[in-house]
Amino acid sequence: MAHPRLYSGMQPSSGSLHLGNYIGALQQWRGLQQDHDAFFSIVDLHAITVPQAPDVLREQVRTLAAQYIAGGIDPDRACLYVQSHVAAHAQLAWLLGTITGFGEASRMTQFKDKTARGGQEAASVGLFTYPILMAADILLYDAEIVPVGDDQKQHVELTRDLAERFNKRFGPTFTIPKPRILADGARIYDLQDPKAKMSKSADNDKGIVWLLDDPAKTAKKIRSAVTDTDGAIRADKESKPGVTNLLDILSAMTGTPVADLEAHFDGQGYGVFKTEVADAVVAELAPVRERTLELLADPAELDRLLAANADRAAEVADATLARAMGAMGLR
Ligand code: TYM
């Protein structure tokens, strides 16, 4: 029997993934690709909803492809490709935009968060319609499962609503996808501000662990993480967000449940705890960083792989787009 279809993607909008992307997305993907027919995209069309320098963007696309592979995505098994190489994404996004309510799109909390500082007037229309493009990504591949961190849950729910609406209005066309979100580690927080999610746009670089950071720098950032004065190593999101975040991180790195970690650290101090977290993160990320740098030494090979996979992706996407256009009375 065919494996269930799975779809996810990340933006090439920084020079490196951070630990939140790694735990919330890449680590999950790695396991899921074994028994799913997986498509993983590099969503460059999403990245340009905020200004990007063309040369830098081109480099970041390659760097992200290398991080996917170094992080364990098997390019012979999963289809790893660049969104803009497949024209159907932008085309289906237009069709879906015509059945999306303006009010419905206005309720997306990520748009509100992203425009909180600069104001909505300064934002591009592309940033506003971004979730509709994400719906197109998912629906083009008939994905049943979409593994993401919890900040993307509302966008996957919008995707479900749009697919159901389309099917009702125009006849069965799209598969209804489900988000897949981890119980622990769905949201990794900033090391310096553990109530805010770890995010590439944070002001203070000290709170972000970058995959491609030098290991000594990573260890230092973790040892300097903000905790509290209570001294106990136990999970409590409300009153001990810093310690809870470090427990989640260690749990994701080692596969040990948080409750077992609490027992392990019973009676220990924060110094010992932070050193163990730092060692575990470095042990996990240092090989990924090295492999990424090796892959980047041969950009022609990465480009060849991305071109071949774009053809594979376009075959699936074009068939779905034709179905949707036909259903709407176009073509
Ligand atoms: P992006 O590029 O912001 O993030 C990529 C993935 O990383 C997860 N993530 C986190 N997980 C845990 N803790 C954090 N602090 C953290 N920060 C980010 C995100 O939830 C995401 O899974 N719109 C998407 C990209 C996208 C997409 C798609 C995803 C475009 N089309 C189709 C799935 C399916 C985004 O901007 O992710």
Q: In what order do the strands lie in the sheet with 145-147?
A: 79-82, 37-42, 5-10, 145-147, 178-180
For the entire predicted model, the pTM comes to 0.96
Beta bridge partner(s), residue 39: 7, 79
Give me the catalytic one of 112, 153, 178, 200: 200
Structure-token match 């790195």, residue found: 253
**What six digits make up the tokens of 282?**
């470095």
- At residue 20, the pLDDT reads 96
Where is pLDDT greater, at 114 or 133? 133
Please check whether residue 282 is in contact with residue 215, taking contact to mean a CB–CB distance below 8 angstroms.
yes
Pairwise CA distance, residues 205 & 202, whole Å = 7
Pairwise CA distance, residues 118 & 108, whole Å = 17
Ligand 1 neighbour 262 (Cβ under 6 A): no
| 179-201 pLDDT per residue, tens | 999 776 679 999 999 999 999 98
Ligand 1 neighbour 89 (Cβ under 6 A): no
Residue 217 annotated to the active site: no
Residue 114 annotated to the active site: yes
| 15-67 pLDDT per residue, tens | 999 999 999 999 999 999 999 999 999 999 999 999 999 999 999 999 999 99
Provide mean pLDDT across the span 283-306: 98
Residue 220 annotated to the active site: no
Pairwise CA distance, residues 61 & 13, whole Å = 8
Q: Which of 44, 151, 201 to mutate to test the pocket of ligand 1 (most atoms within 8 A of CB)?
A: 151
Q: Say how many Å lie between the CA of residue 10 and the centre of ligand 1.
A: 6
